Structures are given as structure tokens and as C-alpha cells.
Amino acid sequence: MKKKGIWKAAGAVFLMTAAAGCLPVYGAGTELPLTEYDESQLEKFRDDTLEYWEIPGLVEQYNTEFRNQLEIYYNNPGSSTGLTKDQLLSLASDLRQEANELNQEAEDSKDDLTREEYQEYQQNIRALKSYAKDLEDDADGKNASGSSSIRNLRILKNQQIQSAQEKMRAYERLKDQDAIAQKNLETAQLTYESAKLRQELGTYSAENVLDAERALNQARASASAASDALENGKNDLIMMLGWSYGAQPEIVSVPEPDTGRIDGYDLDADQAKAIENNYTLFDTRMASSSSQGGANQKARTIKTQEEQVTMKMDLLYQEVLQKQTAYQAAETAYEKAVSDKTAADSQYSLGMMSRESYLTAEASWLQSEASYTSAKLDLTEAMENYEWAREGLLDIGSGSQ
């Protein structure tokens, strides 16, 4: 079962605690106090079902590596909290309003307060205003360490999302491979039993039975390896997203790719956006010229990296089109496989097909289903690689810097 969050904080209490460096430590099961997701979505993240669309939210809420970085930033006064600019400014505004209200309360009660109590009011007011200023500087990019922290958090979050998506697609492939291996084991078991029966009837030799036994042992080994790979793949996936090792959440199949998104791709515009957003290019632009061999060398490095982004975006776009064509062909083949499977089910139920022949038909069906699933996942991967690259997550190396 997924670990659940029990700690919530809000407003100035949370922010002042963070500023004081005594924020509660984040664990994999503690929800973020500030998030873009509404309560209904957060509740969905807490259930024991994993759906593909949930991955970004689950990374934000439960990914250990991402949350460990958040803990560092939340406990570092003046640094980034990993929030958007609007969220930072909104929090700063709330803090300033609370500071004003606290100041008004202090002035209204001044005659009834001791000197120490009044000074405590003023100290809290100054802390609120100071932290509000830090947040405003982060939002405006004036706090160099803060804006860098925001960027690093977003990069890390995107990398973890991308990795989890890859693991979930890999898990679905492993699931198909396991189903095929188990069906092959069932077929091998039946073949072995049939071989022994035929030997008793005098139509099979001992060597025939031995061959069937060898095939059965090999099928057992393959089925065991496939099951182990599936279990390992599951644990790799779920442990990134808040579940404990060995948990058994329901993992819903990756949905069919939304091919309508491809119609919205504009290669020229997307190449320009990818150049603007690329993480490596950003670092090159922000680095001092002296660290890169002078202004001319820096300009050449930037130009080279921009050309790399342009070239790789073109390759990624062509990959999308190729995988789309393969997916469409796989759909046609899958429709025929469904028809063949339906016919085999009918014949077997009517006693018109032997158990051996039916198992062979089932194995053929599973292979067809796996091929279709693979084409689906290949297209999904190609589309996501293109879209991640457009958002800046495209490796162009750093050796030229």
C-alpha cells in the first residue's frame, strides 16, 4: 500500500518555519503543503492504483529524490521552494498582508503589552517582510541562487517524470513477455504429458519424451525469468512513485497514444522553442565568456549547440512519423488477430479444436497483442521524446562548452 501523508501546513506558519530552518523533514509519504493539484486529484494519488496520467503528480508528491531536494530548499532561507513565479508572488503578498495585520494588532494592543511582547511582535513582522522579499526576489530572478534552485528543481522533476514514464512503458512490455512465457510453459507442459501418454501407447520413443522434458524445463526457466523481470520492473516503477518494495498496486495499461497531438506539431516553431528551452544551451548562455575561452568561442559554442538541437529535433520528428505509420499497420494486424482469436474461442468451445491447437492459437494471439502493444508504446515514447525535447529535456552533451 502507498504511504500516505499526514502533515499539512499553510500560510505564514509554514513559511516562517521554513525560514527558521525547522521545517518537518519530508518523507516519501508526506504530501507537499503547496501544490498545483486540487484535493480530488490528491485523493486519487493516494489510492492503490497507478495510471499513466498520474505520474507527474506522483513524482511531485512521493518521489524520494525530488522530495529530498525540496527538503534542502525549504530549509534554506531565501532559496527556492520550487514554486512557480505566480505562486511565489502570491505567497509574498499573503506574508506582507499578515505582517500588516500583525503590525496593526501590535499597535492596537500596545498599551496592554509588555516591552518584550511588543518587541516579539516587531520581530515577527520583520521576519514576515524579510521572507516576503526573498520570495519576491526569487520570483523576479533577482536572487541568483533562488532562481537557479527553481530551475534545478524543475529539471529534476521533469527527469524523474520522464524516467517513471519510461519504466511504466517497460513494465507493460515485460507484462506481455511474461504472459507469453507462461503460455509457452502451459503448452510445453501439455506437450510433455502428451508425449508420455503416447509413449505408453507405443507411438513415442523414450527420446521423444526426453526432448519434450527438455523443452518443458527450458520453458519453466524462461517463465521464471520472465516473472522475475516483471516483478523487478514493477518494483523499480512503483518505488519511484511512493509505494514500498513488494507492494501490489493495480497498474493500469498505458493508454493509446493521442495521435491528434501530432497534428499540432510545428517542426520549425518547435525547434525554435527547443533551442530557447534547452538546459545545456541555457547553461552555456549563462556561463561567463572567460570560462569558455572568450566571447567568440562562446558564440561558436552556442551556435554549435543550437545546430545540434535543430538536427536532433528533426530526427525526433521523423521518428514520430515512422512510429505513427508502424502503429497504424499494427492496428490493422491486431484487428485480424482479434478475429482469429474469436474464431478459435468459438471452435474450442464447440469441441472443434484440440487443446493443443487452442493453446497454439492463444500463443499466437498473445504474440500479436504484444506486437500491437509494442507499436503503441513505441509511438507514445517517440511523441514524449519530441515533446520533452521541445521543453528543454534534450541531451546535446556538454563537451563543447
Within a 10 A sphere around the Cβ of 227, how many other Cβ atoms? 15
- Do residues 157 and 60 make contact, with C-beta atoms less than 8 angstroms apart? yes
Distance linking the first and last C-alpha atoms of the chain: 46
Q: What dihedral do alpha carbons 391, 257, 179, 211 form, nearest 10°?
A: -90
- What pLDDT is stored for residue 305 in this prediction? 92
Residue ranges of the chain with per-residue pLDDT less than 50: 3-31, 33, 77-81, 144-145, 399-401
- What pLDDT is stored for residue 74 in this prediction? 67
Q: How far apart are CA 237 and CA 59, in angstroms?
A: 11
C-alpha cell at 343: 474464431
Strand partners, 251: 50
Return the DSSP state at 394. Answer: -
pTM: 0.73
- What pLDDT is stored for residue 360 in this prediction? 87
Q: Which segments of 141-289 does DSSP mark as H helices, in order? A: 144-200, 206-240, 260-263, 267-277, 279-286
pLDDT one-digit tens code per residue, 296-338: 788 888 899 999 999 999 999 999 999 999 999 999 988 888 8
Within a 10 A sphere around the Cβ of 277, how many other Cβ atoms? 16
What residue has cell string 505513427?
324
Residue 251 backbone zone (phi > 0: left; psi -120 to 50: alpha; other: beta): beta
CA 375 to chain centre: 20
pLDDT one-digit tens code per residue, 103-136: 898 889 888 888 877 877 787 788 678 778 877 8
- What pLDDT is stored for residue 25 in this prediction? 35
Rg (CA), the chain: 30
C-alpha torsion sign, points 12, 14, 19, 22:
positive
Q: How far apart are CA 252 and CA 248, in angstroms?
A: 12
C-alpha cell at 212: 519434450
C-alpha cell at 43: 485523493
Strand partners, 50: 251
Which helix (H) or strand (E) segment holds residue 367: the answer is helix 355-390
Q: Per-domain residue ranges for the chain?
A: 11-156, 258-401
- What pLDDT is stored for residue 75 in this prediction? 63
Least Cα distance to 87 among 14, 191, 28 occurs for: 14
- What pLDDT is stored for residue 147 in this prediction? 57
- What pLDDT is stored for residue 16 in this prediction? 40
- Do residues 212 and 192 make contact, with C-beta atoms less than 8 angstroms apart? yes
C-alpha torsion sign, points 319, 320, 323, 324:
negative
Least Cα distance to 75 among 38, 12, 24 occurs for: 24
Q: How far apart are CA 222 and CA 184, in angstroms?
A: 9
- What pLDDT is stored for residue 142 in this prediction? 52
- What pLDDT is stored for residue 40 in this prediction? 83
Q: How far apart are CA 389 and CA 320, in angstroms?
A: 13
C-alpha cell at 42: 490528491
- What pLDDT is stored for residue 2 in this prediction? 54
Strand partners, 49: 250
